[in-house]
Amino acid sequence: MKTEILVGADIVIRIRETGEEQHLTAEGIHCTWVWNDGSRDAAEYWAVADWITDTFGNNIDWFSIKGWTGTPKKEA
């Protein structure tokens, strides 16, 4: 079984070029939690980490995921 989830997260990134730290809130990150593959927390965490790397690529030195929440998607 699996559950489709929308994740929101508070993150901190450091821009490689300037060294500036930015505090961001991201919403609506898609996550598919496959129940037999691991915990829901792990699926949500890695969905956020993947979103950060997809969005910022090699333009950041590091990131920290301060917290996240996930809500199962409602069928339309």
Asked whether residue 75 is domain-assigned, the answer is: no
Residue 76 in tokens:
């339309």
Q: Which amino acid is located at 34 in the chain?
A: V
Reference 30, options 59, 9, 13; nearest CA is 9
pTM strictly above 0.85 = yes
Domain assignment of residue 16, given as a range: 2-70
pLDDT score of 74: 73
Residue 25 in tokens:
């809130």
Number of domains in the chain: 1
User: Which residue has better confidence, 51 or 73?
Assistant: 51
pLDDT score of 73: 85
Asked whether residue 76 is domain-assigned, the answer is: no
pLDDT digits (tens, 9 = 90+) for 7-19: 999 999 999 999 9
pLDDT digits (tens, 9 = 90+) for 16-60: 999 999 999 999 999 999 999 999 999 999 999 999 999 999 999
Label residue 8 exposed, middle or buried (CB < 10 Å: 0-12, 13-18, 19+).
Answer: middle
